[in-house]
Amino acid sequence: MDAKQEETGLEDKGRSRDLMGIQEVATMLNVTHRTLRFYEDKGLIEPQRVGNTRIYARREVARMQLILRGKRLGFTIREISEFLDLYDADPEHVEQSKLLLRRIRERLKLLARQRAAIEETVGELKKLEAETLAEIAAAGG
């Protein structure tokens, strides 16, 4: 057993991939230790503790994957928390799926409005660019 294993009381052969340390999880998910601690502070994940060492079970890793996906898709921490709470409360995940569907549709509508606003802004900028180029050309520059 190495020093870390002695400190945590875990041996590689006994823990398989069911339990991982913060470094392993951070590397696997491509996040920082601070990110993991942030979501722990928000109550979205609950790693086990062995002394001061955080030990992550499969459940916490899966929850982090859901959290990161939700953040990538633009959901708030509150919304992600709702999804996770429903996931735990509803073994069939029916309510979670219904809520997720509603949130997806809301997000799609918002993104469509944002896309339209961006396209309008791009059009205005291109028009302004052309006008500015014409002014420069007319001034002999």
**pLDDT digit string, tens, across residues 15-35:** 446 899 999 999 999 999 999
Q: What percent of the chain is predicted at pLDDT more than 70?
A: 87
pTM of the model: 0.69
> What is the rounded CA–CA span in Å between residue 25 and residue 62?
11
- Write the DSSP assignment of 65-118 as a string of letters: HHHHHHHHTT--HHHHHHHHHHHHH-TT-HHHHHHHHHHHHHHHHHHHHHHHHH
> What is the rounded CA–CA span in Å between residue 53 and residue 125?
53
Tell me the chain's radius of gyration from C-alpha atoms: 24
> What is the rounded CA–CA span in Å between residue 66 and residue 80?
8
**pLDDT greater than 70 at residue 12:** no
Q: What is the DSSP letter of 36?
A: H
Question: 23, 21, 45: which is closest to 32 by C-alpha?
Answer: 23
Tell me which residue has tokens 């500015």. 132
Residue 97: pLDDT band by 50, 70, 90 thresholds?
confident
Higher per-residue confidence, 13 vs 103: 103
Q: Give the mean pLDDT of 27-47.
A: 95
Model confidence pLDDT, tens digit, residues 104-133: 999 999 999 999 999 999 999 999 999 999
Domain 1-74 has CATH 3.40.640.10: no
**Where are the chain's structural domains?**
1-74, 90-141
